[in-house]
């Protein structure tokens, strides 16, 4: 096809409900739809009278791809879904596979998982805070909070050499122990992060323009949240203290002392405050986790799932066979199905795995929190102005990699 006639197929399936209204495509290429989300808006003046969310521009087919991959190789795909909090994805996947295998992780491994997951939560909330502020026109918080996120990514790099997608939490435990220098870096971070967060809060929390832009925008009641299947900071912002770390604890979260922030009005501003408070709660958890970090093994001792340490290979024939089998064939899971969910930064993040007894999953399904939460966009936006759409999208905190999978 000659270049001059090339036009992408971009048919819009959308029915107008009003007369003299303007239909505008917001996205897929738009600065504040956080990726390639496409929202078709019907505007009367600047008021939204109808909208349609169209997804699929980042579809990667990872769920199908996983059916052809061994469990350990699936891990790298989990990172790339919610790429802003990769460790939580790793953790949810690992928990589901471990539930199938019915293996236990030693306490040190669990504590390290909690550390990685909470750091990921802070990093993800940092990105949310920066982009949410940028969407509403406040440039400076973006740069200030990204400096903090850099420190977290540097810590991830200490673990695995990869900044955003460490793939460090695997079924059976972790890929390795805490690296040298990590503890010091984490303690330094925990000491200075709350004050850095306060700097950003000072720019926004009591700013009249910010309050004007976010108060009473995109209100949701608890009932609406339940009806739409929402979770995470959105339902907590509406006043429901629902948190999987409390209601269905995993990785030893029941041992940590932390509280659940809840809002009152269920508007954009409350979700904003809830996420800010969550970061401080995460700091509390991290402090407890690093202070009470148990010794011992960090991975399961099940040699069918976790490869033996390098030094065993020199002395034990059996270890060598395990090692070889694990890295060529992988492990087999018993026939059955398992669903495990973690409280991701964006809400309930679950993995549903059906096993037919082979070394690859029969069905590998994700319950992405962003996908569910995005449903709330329409009821939240109708009747508000076009500028509120970006505030509402920002308050949902979506990641398109997770939505389209």
Partner 1 sequence: MTPEFWWGTLRALIIIAFVLVGVPPVIWWERRLLSWMQDRVGPNRVGPWGLLQPIADGVKLFFKEEVMPAAVDKFVYWLAPAIALFPAFVIGATLVWGPNPMLTPVADVDIGILWVLAISSLGVYGIVLGGWASNNKYSLLGGLRSTAQLVSYELAMGVALYSVLLVTGSLKMTEVVARQQAPLYDVLPWAQNWFILTPYGFGAGVIFLICMIAETNRAPFDLPEAESELIAGFHTEYSSMKFAVFFMGEYAVMAMFGAIFTDLFLGGWSPLPLNWDYLSAQASAAHLGWLSSALSFIGGAWMAPVWFIGKVFFLLTVYIWIRATLPRLRYDQLMNVGWKFLLPFAALNFVLTAVWMLFGWLAFGIAAAVVAAGYLMVVGFVLRPRAFKDAAKVHLVDVQANTAQTIEVQR
Partner 2 sequence: MPGSIGCPLAHLGPRFCGKIVEPVNPYLPIFVMIALASVICIAMVSLSWLLGPKKSTAYKESPFECGVAPTGSAHERFPIKFYLTAMLFILFDIEVVFLWSWMTVFRGWVEKGTPSAMYSFWAVMVYMVLWFLGDFYVLRSGALEWEESKTLHPEKFGKAVDEEAPYVQPVSEDAA
Residues that bind partner 2 (CB under 8 A): 3-8, 10-12, 14, 17-30, 38, 40, 44-47, 49-50, 219, 221, 223-224, 226-228, 378-379, 382-383, 385
Residue 49 found at the interface with partner 1 (CB under 8 A): no
| Residue 396 touches partner 1, criterion: CB under 8 A | no
Q: Mention every residue, 6+ apart, whose C-beta is less than 8 A from residue 212.
A: none
Residue pair 185/178 in contact (Cβ under 8 Å)? The answer is: no
Binds partner 1 by CB under 8 A, chosen from 172, 173, 218, 263: 263
Q: Does 321 bind partner 1 (CB under 8 A)?
A: no
Q: Of the two residues 106 and 252, which places its CB atom closer to partner 1 in the complex?
A: 252
Radius of gyration of the CA atoms of the chain, in A: 22
Cβ distance 275 to 125 under 8 Å?
Answer: yes
The partner in contact with residue 243, picked from partner 2, partner 1, none with C-beta cut-offs of 5 to 8 angstroms by kind, is partner 1
How far is Cα of residue 25 from the mean position of the Cα atoms in its chain? Answer: 27
d(CA 365, CA 67): 10
3-state SS, 95-148, equals HHHHHHHCCCCCHHHHHHHHHHHHHHHHHHHHHHHHHHHHHCCCCHHHHHHHHH
Distance CA 82, CA 400 (A): 8
Quote the tokens at residue 174: 């972790």
The answer to whether 277 contacts partner 1 (rule: CB under 8 A) is yes
Per rule CB under 8 A, count of chain residues that contact partner 1: 65
Residue 157 CB partners (closer than 8 Å, separation 6+): 163
How far apart are CB 61 and partner 2 at their closest, in Å?
A: 21
Helix (H) or strand (E) holding 26: strand 22-26
162 binds partner 1 (CB under 8 A): no
Residue 30 contacts partner 1 per CB under 8 A: yes
Q: Select the span of 4-12, 85-93, 135-143, 365-373 touching partner 1 (CB under 8 A).
A: 135-143
Residue span binding partner 1 (CB under 8 A) among the ranges 84-92, 220-228, 242-250, 362-370: 242-250
Residue with tokens 């991830």, as numbered in its chain:
156
* Residues making contact with partner 1 (CB under 8 A): 22, 24, 30-32, 43, 46, 99-100, 102, 133-140, 142-144, 147, 203-213, 241, 243, 245-249, 253-254, 259-264, 269-270, 273-274, 277, 281, 334-338, 385-390
């Amino acid at each position: 096809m000659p270049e001059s006639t090339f036009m992408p197929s971009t048919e819009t399936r959308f029915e107008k409900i009003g007369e003299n209204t303007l239909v505008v495509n917001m996205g897929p290429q738009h600065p504040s739809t956080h990726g390639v989300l496409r929202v078709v808006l019907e505007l009367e003046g600047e008021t939204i009278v109808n909208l349609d969310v169209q997804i699929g521009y980042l579809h990667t087919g990872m769920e199908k791809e996983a059916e052809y991959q061994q469990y350990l190789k699936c891990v790298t795909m989990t990172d790339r879904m919610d790429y802003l909090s990769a460790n939580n994805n790793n953790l949810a996947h690992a928990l589901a596979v471990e539930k199938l295998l019915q293996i236990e992780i030693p306490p040190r491994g669990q504590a390290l998982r909690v550390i990685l997951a909470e750091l990921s939560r802070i990093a993800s909330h940092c990105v949310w805070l920066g982009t949410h502020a940028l969407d509403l026109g406040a440039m400076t918080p973006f740069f200030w909070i990204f400096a903090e996120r850099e420190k977290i990514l540097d810590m991830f790099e200490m673990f695995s050499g990869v900044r955003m997608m460490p793939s460090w939490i695997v079924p059976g435990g972790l890929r390795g122990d805490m690296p040298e220098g990590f503890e010091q870096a984490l303690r330094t971070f925990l000491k200075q992060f709350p004050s850095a967060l306060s700097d950003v809060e000072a720019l926004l929390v009591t700013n009249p323009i910010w309050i004007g832009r976010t108060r009473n925008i995109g209100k949701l009641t608890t009932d609406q949240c339940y009806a739409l299947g929402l979770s995470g900071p959105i339902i907590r912002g509406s006043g429901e203290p629902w948190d999987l770390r409390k209601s269905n604890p995993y990785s030893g979260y029941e041992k940590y002392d932390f509280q659940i922030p809840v809002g009152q009005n269920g508007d954009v501003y409350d979700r904003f405050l809830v996420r800010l408070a969550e970061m401080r709660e995460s700091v509390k958890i991290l402090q407890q986790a690093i202070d009470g970090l148990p010794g011992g093994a960090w991975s399961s001792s099940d040699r069918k799932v976790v490869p033996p340490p390098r030094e065993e290979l020199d002395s034990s024939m059996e270890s060598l066979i395990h090692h070889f089998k694990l890295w060529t064939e992988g492990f087999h899971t018993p026939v059955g199905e398992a669903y495990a969910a973690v409280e991701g930064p964006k809400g309930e993040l679950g993995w549903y795995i059906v096993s037919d007894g082979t070394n690859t999953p029969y069905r590998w399904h994700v319950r992405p929190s962003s996908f569910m939460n995005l449903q709330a966009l329409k009821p939240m936006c109708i009747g508000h102005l076009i500028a509120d759409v970006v505030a509402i999208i920002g308050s949902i905190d979506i990641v398109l990699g997770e939505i389209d999978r």
